[in-house]
Amino acid sequence: MSGLYRFAVSRGYTASSPLPTNLPKLPRQQTPYVYSTEELRRLLEATSILKIGHSPQVPAMYRTLVLLLYGSGMCIGEALHLLLQDVDLSEQIITVRHTKFFKTRLVPIGPKLNREVAEHIERRRLLPLPRGEESPPFTTRDGRPWHYVRVISAVCGQCGRRMTVRYSGPDSACPVYCCLADRNQTGSSLCQEVRAPAVDEQVARILLKALEPDQIAIAIAALDEIAEETRSLEKQWALRRERARYDAERARRQYDTVEPENRLVARTLEKAWEDKLRLVDEIEQEYRRWRDREPLVLQAQDHAALQGLAENLPAIWHSETTQPEDRKRILRFIVQEVVLDQKKIRGQVAIRILWQTGATSEHQIQRRVQPYDRDYGELELVRERITELNAAGDMDRQIAKILNDEGVRSARGKLFSYENIWLLRHRWGIPTAKINGVAANPPRWPDGTYSVQGAAAAIGVTAQTIFDYLAQGLVHGRQSTKGQPWQISLSSDQIDQLQRRLQRTRRSRKGASWSIRGCKDDHRATRPAHPSLRDRRNRKRFLALQEPLSKLKSTSQPAAPDQAAQPRPASPDRELTGVPFNTPQPGSPFARKTRVPIQW
């Protein structure tokens, strides 16, 4: 094309060439690395130190896997997807199924490798075989296969190379997409690496959303419109092809009717006939290229099949029996490749999906980072929102709820908690939203209202009592927001009223004890209202003391026979005065260990 446009510019047919002047750089061809015999020996020796779980067969299993990859040239995914029935030891042939483009091929192996594989299969049969001969040869100690869990075919958005998968985290359970081309070829650092779980979930979500029943119905309607346009274009192509064939046939007839003696005319007609035939061939090639580009025309039964697939696909995708390789096979039918670039947008992983139809779509997901630094994409937004909400008087718990409701996530992709907000405020120097900051609450606020501590001191109660008064409505206060200090409005009349209320409901400790002065022999004295537990206990003791006193009086001065029925008036000098009510009397149960004289 560049040569054609150079010719056109030189002849003046066009002013300039529309082709780009800066051609894109092609990715460097990756040279395959061939391990030497010494490197292979060291690699096999390193497998003996592997200790995963409690299975002693893990080192031998890794050794066989390395030898199989080296001796057969299979990919790691192909080796892990092998079954016991795919290994033919007698013929020394391994059947590799469902490889690239879903083809099956036969891989021959040498006698030494065949012996190693045979020994490994004997050891493998000692482990559980959940599916019999359809069980994989490389498994865990309970018979579960080693999953090569990559679902998408990831391409590096920086250099355009294919990304590989490595495993990190505890027990190597977290897959990561890595671009290792630069490090393998030049020894430099990694081009980029992206955590695979979040990317796989996002791509699967986009795929299932694109294959929802309503989206399928829209796609079918669009395909019907395209099919109608295709039929009209097909008619135009048919007319064009028919016209070219007619012209070629007419040129042939003209050439056949010419006399052989007219060589000049025959040569001219022959050239015209060849031009017409060449034109027919060009039109046929253009027509075939157009047919290849045109989408497939769906029939009525295809519509029903697609609708059924759209309804059942989510259940099939999320089923526990669906393996990662099955999801990958489903994805490959619809998605051609996925381009990942986490350096394009700060704090985001840019995902570009190239569909099998040729269409592309752009998506982003938030990166999961550890600190709140330049790798966190929403750093400025979070700082601005925390500052605004803190200035409005919202507490840390309320700020966290507002950020979560707005869809903002923390650096690790989780919901915000009040601990996160507190740490960020201290890191960025944002003061607390309280009225007095971090200082203690003063007795009275600048507007004249009382704090809880000030109101308690003014009334003469505890701070908890003030909270009870607030709950009962005896005093009135306000909070700018939950968690802020109380601002209680109290006048002098209210303080006096609350203090009088306390005098009515609170008995003095001095007045609470029963003074028996003036209570002669009548122990049925008037009981004060609402006595305390201590008052009731003291009254029982007093009554217990009065009973032996009355008996002692009756025995010391017996009454006359004629005056026995008449009550004797109490003598003033016989009144009990000044005697403490808790003084034990002779004969009472309280006088066993006490020798206090009785004063009459």
- Residue 118 in this model has a pLDDT that exceeds 90: yes
Whole-number pLDDT of residue 34: 80
pLDDT band at 561 (very low <50, low <70, confident <90, very high): very low
Whole-number pLDDT of residue 563: 46
CA angle 50, 56, 57 (to 5 degrees): 85
pLDDT (average), residues 305-320: 72
- Residue 82 in this model has a pLDDT that exceeds 70: yes
Q: Pull the structure tokens for residue 112.
A: 């030494």
pLDDT (average), residues 285-301: 72
- Residue 62 in this model has a pLDDT that exceeds 90: no
| Chain position carrying tokens 């004295």 | 525
d(CA 159, CA 340): 10
Helix (H, G, I), strand (E, B) or coil at 476: strand
Whole-number pLDDT of residue 579: 44
Residue scoring higher pLDDT (561 or 494) = 494
Of all residues in the chain, the percent with pLDDT exceeding 70 is 71
Helix (H, G, I), strand (E, B) or coil at 342: coil
For the domain 37-134, what is the CATH code?
Answer: 1.10.443.10
DSSP structural state of residue 550: H
- Residue 111 in this model has a pLDDT that exceeds 80: yes
d(CA 93, CA 102): 19
Whole-number pLDDT of residue 114: 92
- Residue 94 in this model has a pLDDT that exceeds 90: yes
pLDDT band at 577 (very low <50, low <70, confident <90, very high): very low
- Residue 246 in this model has a pLDDT that exceeds 80: yes
Region for 347 from its dihedrals, namely left if φ exceeds 0, alpha if ψ lies in -120 to 50, beta otherwise: left
- Residue 68 in this model has a pLDDT that exceeds 80: yes
Averaging pLDDT over each range in 23-37, 365-379, 468-482, which range is the top one?
Answer: 468-482
Residue scoring higher pLDDT (555 or 86) = 86
CB–CB of 380/386 below 8 Å? no
> On the CB side of 403, how many CA atoms lie within 13 Å of its CA?
31
pLDDT (average), residues 244-249: 90
User: Among 11-25, 218-232, 419-433, 574-588, which stretch is predicted with the lowest mean pLDDT?
Assistant: 574-588
Whole-number pLDDT of residue 588: 47
What mean pLDDT, rounded, does the chain reach?
Answer: 75
pLDDT (average), residues 50-62: 70
pLDDT (average), residues 524-542: 55
Check whether domain 436-519 has CATH 1.10.1660, yes or no: yes
pLDDT (average), residues 65-73: 90
Whole-number pLDDT of residue 542: 63
- Residue 238 in this model has a pLDDT that exceeds 80: yes
Whole-number pLDDT of residue 20: 66
| Chain position carrying tokens 């026995």 | 564
pLDDT band at 565 (very low <50, low <70, confident <90, very high): very low
Helix (H, G, I), strand (E, B) or coil at 181: helix
Of the candidates 541, 514, 510, the one whose C-alpha atom is nearest the C-alpha of residue 525 is: 514
Whole-number pLDDT of residue 152: 66
Count, residues in the chain: 600
